[in-house]
Structure 1
Amino acid sequence: MARKLDEKDINLLKKLAPECSDLECSSSGVNFKSILPPVANHFSKDISDFSHRLESLSEKELEYLLDLIKDGRESLGCLRPDYVMAFQEIIASRVGGKQAGEIIRIYTANDICE
């Protein structure tokens, strides 16, 4: 589901990618519609960097991302499988295994990149 990032989303994106000065995707020219794909695909140097950025989030911020994913407002479809697994591992260790399993279920059920 395409959406416009609200202030809370933008703040979270900028926490994960402080170097993000523009909310526009450099390759498509379209404004970002999710938080995790730009962090993974535009700002992280590699999977280790992506994981490190995610580890900076509080449990409340991780739960907020989970809520967005569960209701379809946050897309995982543009993430490579190894990046989804890294996110899932952080969720498992910080929020719980049940929530982590939900991430994989959602990712495998809907592989569309929006």
Structure 2
Amino acid sequence: MARKLDEKDIDLLKKLAPECIDLECSSSGVNFKSILPPVANHFSKDISDFSHRLEALSEKELEYLLDLIKDGRESLGCLRPDYVMAFQEMVARRAGEEQAGKIIKIYTANDVCE
């Protein structure tokens, strides 16, 4: 679901990608509508960098992000499968296998990039 990032979302995006100055996607000219896709696709150098950035999330921030994903407000559709797997592995380690399984189900059920 496309959405407008609120202040909390923007703060989280900038925590994961401190170099993020403009909230506009350079390739589409549209404002970012999710947190993880720009971190993965625009700011991370590679999957290792993406994983490292995710480790900066506090437990509360991770829980917030997982709630956004489960509610359909955070899109995983624009992430490459290997980046989703890196996110899923971090979720399994920090929030449990059940939460990680939900992430994969959501990703495989909705392949739309918003």
Same fold judged by TM-score > 0.5?
yes
TM-score, normalisation: structure 2? 0.99
Distance between the aligned counterparts of 1:75 and 1:52, measured in 2?
A: 20
Q: CA deviation at 1:14?
A: 0.1
Q: CA deviation at 1:107?
A: 0.2
Unpaired segments of 5 or more residues in structure 2? none
Distance between the aligned counterparts of 1:52 and 1:71, measured in 2?
A: 25
Q: State the Cα deviation string for residues 37-62 of structure 1 (Å, max 9, x = none).
A: 00000000000000000001011111
Aligned counterpart, 2:52: 52
Aligned with 2:68: secondary structure? helix
Distance between the aligned counterparts of 1:13 and 1:23, measured in 2?
A: 9
Distance between the aligned counterparts of 2:112 and 2:57, measured in 1?
A: 26
Distance between the aligned counterparts of 1:110 and 1:2, measured in 2?
A: 13
Q: CA deviation at 1:35?
A: 0.1
Distance between the aligned counterparts of 2:60 and 2:52, measured in 1?
A: 17
Aligned counterpart, 1:21: 21
Distance between the aligned counterparts of 2:113 and 2:57, measured in 1?
A: 24
Aligned counterpart, 1:10: 10
Distance between the aligned counterparts of 1:6 and 1:18, measured in 2?
A: 17
Distance between the aligned counterparts of 2:108 and 2:62, measured in 1?
A: 20
Aligned with 1:2: secondary structure? coil
Aligned counterpart, 1:88: 88
| Segments of 4+ moved more than 3 angstroms | none
Distance between the aligned counterparts of 2:100 and 2:60, measured in 1?
A: 15
Amino acid at match of 1:105: K
**How large is the Cα RMSD of the aligned pairs?**
0.4
Distance between the aligned counterparts of 1:93 and 1:58, measured in 2?
A: 13
Aligned counterpart, 1:37: 37
Distance between the aligned counterparts of 2:96 and 2:29, measured in 1?
A: 37
Distance between the aligned counterparts of 2:10 and 2:82, measured in 1?
A: 24
